[in-house]
Chain A
Amino acid sequence: MGIAAALLDDGLPAGRRGWLGRIDARAKVLGLLFILVIATLVTTLVPLALCVGAAWALALFGGIDIRRVALALLAVPAFTLALAVPASFNVVTEGAPLVVLCHLGGGHWGPWRVPEFLTVTDRGLFVASRFALRSAACVSLASVLAAATRPQDLFKGLRGLGVPAAFVMVAAMMTRYLDLLVRCAEEIHLAKLSRSLGGVSVRREQAWAAASMGELYRRSRTLADSVAEAMVSRGYTGEVHTLRQGRWSWRDGAFVAGCLAFGAGLLALG
């Protein structure tokens, strides 16, 4: 829970986030998502590796918090790696054996056919590296976008790119209250910790977790009702109006152009 609170609450103003932080959110969303989509289209290893490299270069030289990109790059591919490694085996991807791992004995296991040997195959190795590299590319690009843009600017940017105002307002309001609910849940959690020294049965612990969630729901509903009143009191009648976006600077344009050119280059590489 601490992670969510920390990510939402670093409080740095946009101007203090390096040059990448100063790029208009619309330009960042447009440019980085374009490369992200390209990363799901290319089929060879080189452009995927270039994507990872570009994300790291942006993270290192864009003046953004490198820890967030590093965290994303380490945590998610660890999960992907756990999936990619078995993908290189002959039970998943058939091909010429490169390394024989162990003797399985063949035959059938339930409805599945078991091969004679468990091997790493040439095709499997390629499939696994491409899969892992593609995941890494996507995750690092997404985390650069998140680290370089404050949540409130990100939603504004989405609005500027044509996402419906009502949806953007719900998402923005959700992030605004997420912090409150997380702290609320933590309070309930601490209250529980202080009461339950020593072992508690699984049943009790489940019942406790459910009670906290129920309590959290009750508070969310009360808060939602008050927020609705506060909105109506200031003239809300069901139509969401938001401030217009600032103008694009040549920097924003150049960033998008750079992203488009890079993406097109990747596509040309295959």
Chain B
Amino acid sequence: MDKVFDFRGVSFAYPGREPSLRDATFDVGEGERLAVLGANGSGKSTLLHLMDGLYFAQSGEVRAFGQRLTPEAVERPPFGPLFRKRAGFLFQNSDAQLFCPSVEEELAFGPLQMGWKEEEILRRVGDTLGLLGIAHLRDRPPHGLSSGEKKKVALASLLILSPVVLLLDEPTAGLDPRSQGMLLELLDDLHGRGGLTLVTATHDLELLPHIADRVLVLGEDHRIAADLPTERALGDTDLLLSVNLIHAHRHRHGAMVHSHPHQHTRTHDHAHGEGKDHLH
């Protein structure tokens, strides 16, 4: 299995701030589905920015497709444009990602930068919009779209370049349940058919089983706390408690008050001394 990303002892800090990522070492194989899990401010987003060559490691080394990512490398051809084509970044804020005056121009932006032929671009715009079922939005300006439509257009603007890896920053945040379901289905489809590598940053435990086979857990000390399969991560209550993804849940059963770790998302049963077992 080829490595898409390879991090060796990577640290990063915004100018004048505490490091937002410390000594990260891991790799991502081709076709893998990885989730970066952590509480707000744990450095998930920083990690994705480092993967996409938007930030650069201050110590350690980030490699993508075998090439070390540096400010020069991601700008110089042939690697620069190739890297930008292969790695797509879905931003959490769709408004930031849709900066063109119409959906058509939005999709054409990436290919135009790559210097594709105009006829080819226009054909691909049609195909990609069709694939996502949003052909009717082609001529619309991005600001009247619903949040679900915006997310789809943003995704389409990445898919038109046929990327090898998608970096998704909280992809379902702010979407209604229906749009969430459609997005997850679509990502699943893309992974299954095209062998797309997916890296998703999230703090949403419910999302995990749908989008990842492996989980990288970031602690509040901005270090990688664990790197393990999804099922094991979700079962490890102590781990999730220690990185603040679940909280001790205090509640009352009749006259008795007790507290236990609580995930909100999965049902779990537990027993009280009086034998009144129940399910949350």
Contacts and interface: CB of A to CB of B under 8 A. Distances in A.
Contact of A176 (B89, B100, B139): B100
Interface stretch (B104-112, B182-190, B234-242, B252-260): B104-112
Contacts of A156: 101
A230 B89 contact: yes
Interface in A104-154: 150-152
Nearest to A9: B144
Contacts of B84: 232-235
Given A180-B143, A233-B54, A236-B113, A175 B101 contact: yes
Contacts, number: 99
A241 B113 contact: yes
A91 to B, nearest CB: 49
A155 interface: yes
Q: Is the interface of A mostly helix, strand, loop or mixed?
A: helix
B12 interface: no
B91 A230 contact: yes
Contacts of A14: 139
Nearest to A175: B101
Contacts of A155: 101
B143 A243 contact: no
B contact residues, range = 35 or more
Interface of B: 49, 52, 54, 75, 80-81, 84-85, 87-89, 91, 93, 95-102, 104-105, 108-110, 112-115, 118, 121-122, 139-144, 157-158, 161
Given A173-B101, A229-B54, A230-B97, 11 more contacts: A11-B141, A175-B101, A176-B143, A177-B95, A180-B95, A180-B143, A233-B89, A234-B109, A239-B113, A241-B112, A243-B121
30 contacts: A8-B143, A13-B140, A152-B105, A155-B101, A173-B101, A176-B99, A176-B141, A176-B142, A177-B99, A179-B143, A223-B96, A227-B99, A229-B49, A230-B99, A231-B99, A231-B109, A232-B84, A233-B84, A233-B88, A234-B109, A234-B110, A234-B161, A235-B84, A235-B113, A235-B161, A241-B112, A241-B113, A242-B112, A243-B104, A243-B105
Interface of A: 8-9, 11, 13-14, 150-152, 155-156, 172-173, 175-177, 179-180, 223, 226-227, 229-237, 239, 241-244
